[in-house]
Amino acid sequence: MIRVLVVDDSRTFRKALCLIFSRSPDVSVVGEASSAEEAIGLLHDLSPDVVTLDIEMPGMGGLMLAERIRREFSARILVVSGQTHLGSRTAVEALLKGAHDILEKPGNLENNPLFRAALIRKVHELSEMNGTFSVCREPATPFSGMRSRDFPSLLVVGGSTGGPAALSVLLDRLSGAPLPPVVIVQHMPPAILPHLAERLEQQFGIEVRMAYQGENLLPGTVRLAPGGLHLRLEKKEEGIFSVRLEEDQGVSPHVPSIDRMFDSASRIAGEKAIGVLLSGLGDDGARGLLSIRKAGGETLVQAPETAAAPGMPSAAIGMKAVRHILPPASIGMTLAGWFRERSSGLSGKPFCP
């Protein structure tokens, strides 16, 4: 039985959600809260599997509550709010604070079977993430050094469910360090991605933009793969890499595919490629990370016990694709240290990959 806590300041909407859940035989509403403060008490007492969470509430508010749940509890967070329509900045903020998924409140609940089906489906998906991995902690994990003494040519990053929050921590630790070109594939609705790029750039002072066809990648910049297209990296000449966007031919379960992006990085950058795989369901990115390792590059994954969804990092570990297993903050600090060390070893040469 999936245990759900419903948090919304609207009594009418709480009752509507409870009615929907009552029609699903494997979902049980164990409690209702009208405020974040009330929800915290119930989280301690009831230990729900999933929390449905409104954003606009009196007092602490939904965004702050999402951040606190991520830090202190094992419950998965499904934001159900009128402020989180796809493409909204609030949706991005909720995901960065730790929400695992979002669903927009419909204007009319009475005749909305699509909303009801989506609500039940998302609750089931989130409950399956619980498993043995619970609250995000930051254990001190030992790591070995980077094999290549050269400054890396590319840093490629992949993430899915839980990825935005981990990505935010990673970029925070990289901020201020010399960077190679950074390319990210993050599974999320296409309309949200430009707002994610804007939010990350504002927060960390790193140039974060959506990648475009034929773009040359520059050191110190971050590019996000657009939704609905695969992103491959190509080598134009020595040290110059560019973006190639491709339509899917109906063969990939993920568009864009982390595996495809990682595999292209291994081919063009070899031992000067660094691959990082963050939180996510499934196994996208694991095979591509193995390609990078076989090419002599560095491979790092988020420690599964710190991941909202440990599937992707665990799959990569199982394939022996990984050299370093660390929490996101430690990944960022490790990379920043490596980059500074290799940048200072360039003996006055211009900084370039």
Q: Identify the pLDDT of residue 139.
A: 38
Cα angle: 85, vertex 4, 34; to 5 degrees = 70
Query: Tell me: the pLDDT tens digits for 236-288?
Result: 887 799 999 999 987 788 999 999 999 999 999 999 999 999 999 899 999 99
Tokens at residue 202, please? 């504002």
User: Distance (Å, rounded) from C-alpha 132 to C-alpha 143?
Assistant: 24
Mean pLDDT for all residues in the chain: 88
Rounded mean pLDDT, 73-78:
93
For the annotated catalytic residues, the residue numbers are 160, 187, 284
Q: Identify the pLDDT of residue 146.
A: 64
Residues 6 or more apart whose CB falls under 8 angstroms from that of 87 comprise 189, 191, 192, 195
Q: Identify the pLDDT of residue 121.
A: 94
Residue 268 Rama label (left phi>0; alpha psi -120 to 50; beta): alpha
Amino acid at site 6: V
What domains lie within the chain, and their CATH numbers? 2-127 (3.40.50.2300), 154-344 (3.40.50.180)
Confidence of residue 136 (pLDDT cuts 50, 70, 90): very low
Query: Tell me: the pLDDT tens digits for 140-170?
Result: 344 456 666 688 899 999 999 999 999 999 9
| Per-residue pLDDT at 349 exceeds 80 | no
pTM value surpassing 0.75: yes
Rounded mean pLDDT, 173-195:
93
Confidence of residue 109 (pLDDT cuts 50, 70, 90): confident
Confidence of residue 97 (pLDDT cuts 50, 70, 90): confident
By the 10 Å C-beta count (0-12 exposed, 13-18 middle, 19+ buried), 82 is classed as middle
Q: Identify the pLDDT of residue 76.
A: 93
Q: Give yes or no for a contact between 298 and 337, defined as CB atoms under 8 angstroms apart.
A: no
Confidence of residue 191 (pLDDT cuts 50, 70, 90): confident
The Cα-based distances of 26 to 15, 67, 71, 162 in angstroms read: 18, 27, 27, 24
